[in-house]
Structure 1
């Protein structure tokens, strides 16, 4: 309720001040970047104009547009910060024109647009700034799985990198530095702390499997953060040679047995031919020595 009252007071003064002369200007950085779990600062400074001096601040009001209540309020000489927020200068007072906001431990939820209102005895001003949060992904882990539900693929590689923000990218390369990312499928999971976990699955096809693959993790700006290499113990070339060896071990005995059978058949055929030649009868019949040949002439 108190914060709502302060907001109404600020808005009321702003409406009045819009019709009066204002001798101050509030200058804030358009964009600030904060790293996850580190301090972040939103820079805003009050600048007196037209030679105004000895400006006294009456109200400072910091608000994240995603949050209903203000994250920091200064009113009636009292500072009321929300947990995790404070003035950037620890010894800040109403004569200090630096009204920058410090976030003590940056989280993903702190990302967004912020508005700062100030009311002084020389006029009022307001300005907006934006905070972007980043987090570096952890070292990726690559694993080989041999049972997958992808047709014609007997195995796959899975690369997982977590703890990063915002959305990054995982790319795949073989040992010849040829990229295979188009054949992979990326899954993104939001963790409890708002950070992201990336998981990329690359199917391995029997005809195009290489002995080594590299998983490379890139941040949202396209900069490489980490990489991990996996070497396959049994690439397809080895599998093919094993298959050829197995085939040879099966075919060789068959050829030997076939050769023996053919040799036996030839030997049997030759034997039968020789046997037939030995038992073949003569073309001239055997005659009794006491019998005369019908062609002999008795008178001769």
Structure 2
């Protein structure tokens, strides 16, 4: 059917509608709801007066405001339809009173006002109906900036929900269900398909952060569609350390441990120095005692002293002369020949 034929058809319908008003009545549902990506139905039926009982349809037309050509047209026994549109009943014929329009895959563009015009051999009528399209928003997702935050450090929570229609709203709630939406900043983007993407940021102040926040997405009617919850760590991991990954010490704890090790090492070193000095002082006292014996004129002591290092004590036996370092009285025991014998590990025997 060309444009000239369509124009003649529309004029004829208007004329017949005026002349035969009241014999045929098209009853359409005022408002229809369609879900994005699903099938939609624009409900319309024909009622006739007693005089028009058994009327035969000559023409049925479905048009949408803003579009010139009919989406669905039955005329002279032939059905012409645009892709995605059809009569609701697949076996529809020219005596079927159900003239509802079926939309296969509903899009945002399908929203609007539709006109159904019916012309029979007994009269004609026209009725309007509206289709409203909705799309459910995805379940919100929440991320934090930076990735790791705590109640003491603060940060920013970002909530995203996409694929909805019409434009909705993201709202924030605290752990006591208090509304924090006024402290957030929401951004709305419209995609090529006409759907909306929502993104909202909530800044958490350092030291005044709660343990749990809920992000909820609401549709244009104010109904809540879905929500997500984000739990803010309190800064304590499973090992009782503050912050960081669970089970791992933080930088602060590591620093304390390292400092303790350094201090411990210093203490051990200091004790070593003290012991060394005490031992050196005792050795010097032993040497001074030996020097006193040498000064008294004991020849064997003098001879032994001349051969031994200054920090060792010397004594003689019948068979040998021994230089030794006396560490304590327990290192020495009486010798049967009148001298003293030293444990072998402390002896330094001179030929």
**TM-score, normalisation: structure 1:** 0.73
Q: C-alpha offsets along residues 47-66 of structure 1, whole Å, 9 cap, x if unaligned?
A: 11144211110111101103
- Report the Cα offset of residue 195 of structure 1: 1.3
Alignment of 1:15-26 (within 5 A): 15-20=15-20, 22-26=22-26
Tell me how far apart the structure 1 counterparts of residues 61 and 15 of structure 2 sit (CA, whole Å): 16
- Report the Cα offset of residue 235 of structure 1: 6.1
Change (3 A) 1:214 1:99: same
**Residue 32 in structure 1 maps to residue 32 in structure 2:** yes
- Report the Cα offset of residue 230 of structure 1: 1.0
- Report the Cα offset of residue 4 of structure 1: 5.5
- Report the Cα offset of residue 202 of structure 1: 0.9
| Larger Rg belongs to | 2
Runs of 4+ in structure 1 off by over 6 angstroms are: none
Q: Is the 8 A contact 1:43 1:100 kept in 2?
A: yes
Q: C-alpha offsets along residues 154-194 of structure 1, whole Å, 9 cap, x if unaligned?
A: 63111000111112221111112211001111111112222
Name 2:99's counterpart in structure 1: 99
Tell me how far apart the structure 2 counterparts of residues 163 and 3 of structure 1 sit (CA, whole Å): 38
Q: Which runs of 5+ in 2 are unaligned?
A: 148-152, 237-241, 244-251, 257-351
Name 1:231's counterpart in structure 2: 231
**Residue 171 in structure 1 maps to residue 171 in structure 2:** yes
Tell me how far apart the structure 1 counterparts of residues 227 and 119 of structure 2 sit (CA, whole Å): 52
Q: C-alpha offsets along residues 113-150 of structure 1, whole Å, 9 cap, x if unaligned?
A: 00111111011100000001111111111011139xxx
Name 1:57's counterpart in structure 2: 57
Please provide the CA RMSD for this pair. 2.4
Alignment of 1:76-87 (within 5 A): 76-87=76-87
Tell me how far apart the structure 2 counterparts of residues 216 and 73 of structure 1 sit (CA, whole Å): 45
- Report the Cα offset of residue 214 of structure 1: 0.8
Tell me how far apart the structure 2 counterparts of residues 154 and 200 of structure 1 sit (CA, whole Å): 17
Tell me how far apart the structure 2 counterparts of residues 207 and 109 of structure 1 sit (CA, whole Å): 48
Number of residues of Structure 1 aligned to a counterpart in Structure 2: 236
Tell me how far apart the structure 2 counterparts of residues 185 and 158 of structure 1 sit (CA, whole Å): 10
- Report the Cα offset of residue 234 of structure 1: 5.1
Q: Is the 8 A contact 1:170 1:215 kept in 2?
A: yes
Q: Which runs of 5+ in 1 are unaligned?
A: 148-152, 240-244, 250-300
Alignment of 1:1-300 (within 5 A): 2=2, 5-20=5-20, 22-146=22-146, 155-233=155-233
Q: Is the 8 A contact 2:154 2:209 kept in 1?
A: no
**TM-score, normalisation: structure 2:** 0.62
